[in-house]
Structures are given as C-alpha cells and as structure tokens.
Amino acid sequence: MNKIVIANWKMNLSLRQTLDLAKKIKKGVKKFRKKGVDVVVCPSYTALSEVGEAIRKSNVKLGSQDVFWEEKGPFTSGVSSLMLKEIGCKYVIVGHSERRRYWNEDDWMVHQKVKAAIKAGLIPIICVGEKFEERKDHKKDHVIIKQVSRALEGIKIKKTDKVIVAYEPVWVIGSGQAVKPEEAEYANKVIKTRLLDLYSKKLVNENFRIIYGGSVDSKNVKGFIQQETVQGFLVGGKSLEGEEFVKIVKAVVK
Ligand code: PGA
C-alpha cells in the first residue's frame, strides 16, 4: 500500500490563502505522482469545494477535517458523509484531539462517524493518542487500545474499504517537539496488535494504514519513515508552509 501524507490545515487560513496553498502543494508534489505516496489536503468546510476544483485531476486528494454521522435531517450545522462525497472528498479526519477537547467528542461519537464514513465510501483517518497526564500515569497503551477498539468495534470492513489510524500523542501536537521515532513505532505496534484482534491479518495488512502525527517536520520525518510500521503522517503546523510540506512528501518518497 502507498505511504500517505495528510495536511490538516485546521482553522488557520482564509479561502484565498487556502487556495494559494493548495495550488502550491499541487505543483510541488506533481513529480511524485508515481512514487508510491498519497497526498491529501484537509481544508475547512468553507473551502472544500473550491480546493476540490483546484486539485482536480492532480495527485492531491481532498479530505475533510470532520463529519457528522447522520446522512440528512434536522441537524443544524451538520455536514454528512454524503455531502462530503458529493463534492469530491475521499478522506475524513475523525476524532482529532481538538475535536475531542473543544467539542467534547467522545469515543461513541467517533465510532458513529467512522461507521458513517465507511458506509459512504470515505476513508476515515481515526486519530488516537494519550494526553500528558495519561502518559505520566502509565496509561498510554490502555488509552490507545481503548480508543481504537471503541472507534471500530463491530464495524465490518469490506475488501474495498480503507481505514487509516493516526497515532497522535495529544501533548505533542503543535508543540514543535515530536516524540522519538521509536516511540511512534511502539505505539503503532500497539495499534496494529489491537487491529489484529478485531480483523484478519490480511485485512489489517491490506486495508489499514497506521500513521504518526504530532509536530512532524521535514527533518524529523526522516527518522519516522525508517520505522517499520509508520506508513505516513498527519501534519498540522508544517502543512501550512507549502515548501516544507512538499519536503515532507519528498522525504517519504525517498
Ligand atoms: P502538528 O499537528 O503537526 O501541528 O503537531 C498535527 C495534528 O494536529 O494533526
């Protein structure tokens, strides 16, 4: 399976800035088209359609930063998987720690969103990871296993479905200081072991990708990509700098 690099632009850019950045990245990663890497950008809802147009027919794919689990109905402000599909989204971030923190998103909601995304044929990027206190209390593995289990439990994955699990230690996000590559590798192995409890080996190997996120930049990415189970990156801060993001993709290709 291809490696993957995902840009999470969060709530940082105006529409104009978003489009400029999308075009820059599209141009910068064009040469990696057949190099075994998937590139995804996740703008705000308000920019999804226009970014989708701007990257059409390129090797950059469109992702959303969130989704609501119902398909339609009286859910003010909700955006459904079907709506995302309709405008060309292929991926959707689910359960990001900022959603969990500021919108009180819990494991049940994450589960509903994952289910809805898969049903609609979107690829969920399920974010899991421990907070600093949980780490201090030696609960890291427990938290990761619980989040993965609750997000996926009971969900059937068909041969055509794809799922991404992103290990994102919450305390590292936006800090400028990533964990050591060996730590990401360890957490990814914990995730993989849990996935193997839930699904067949073939399915886990062929339909799941486990990636790392948290202060990834064009320098530290080189250490992470050498790890056996790290199959890509979810990039926040450094995805806002076009050249830097392209450098990260380049490091993954090498
Ligand atoms: P960061 O964000 O790269 O700025 O740490 C990662 C994320 O929130 O997905």
Ligand 1 centroid to Cα of residue 104, in Å, is 19
- Count CA atoms closer than 13 A to 26's CA, side-chain side: 17
Q: Please determine, for residue 245, whether its predicted confidence score (pLDDT) is greater than 90.
A: yes
pTM of the model: 0.97
Regarding the beta carbon of 43 and ligand 1, being less than 6 Å apart is answered no
Per the prediction, the chain carries an average pLDDT of 97
The residues, any chain, with a CB within 8 Å of residue 205's CB and separated by 6 or more, are none
Question: How far is C-alpha 188 from the chain's CA centre?
Answer: 14
Regarding the beta carbon of 216 and ligand 1, being less than 6 Å apart is answered yes
Q: Please determine, for residue 222, whether its predicted confidence score (pLDDT) is greater than 90.
A: yes
Taking CA atoms, 173 is separated from 8, 180, 183, 241, in Å, by 12, 14, 15, 16
What pLDDT was estimated at residue 56? 94
pLDDT tens per residue across span 124-177: 999 999 999 999 999 999 999 999 999 999 999 999 999 999 999 999 999 999
Which residue is catalytic, options 71, 96, 130, 138?
A: 96
Ligand 1 centroid to Cα of residue 58, in Å, is 24
Regarding the beta carbon of 168 and ligand 1, being less than 6 Å apart is answered yes
Q: How confident is residue 23, by pLDDT bands cut at 50, 70 and 90? A: very high
**Active site annotation includes 206:** no
Q: Tell me what the mean pLDDT of segment 5-15 comes to.
A: 98
Q: Please determine, for residue 22, whether its predicted confidence score (pLDDT) is greater than 90.
A: yes
Q: Please determine, for residue 254, whether its predicted confidence score (pLDDT) is greater than 90.
A: no
Beta bridge partners of 163: 208
Q: How confident is residue 186, by pLDDT bands cut at 50, 70 and 90? A: very high
What pLDDT was estimated at residue 220? 97
SS3 124: strand
Q: Cα(155)–Cα(115) distance, rounded to whole angstroms?
A: 7
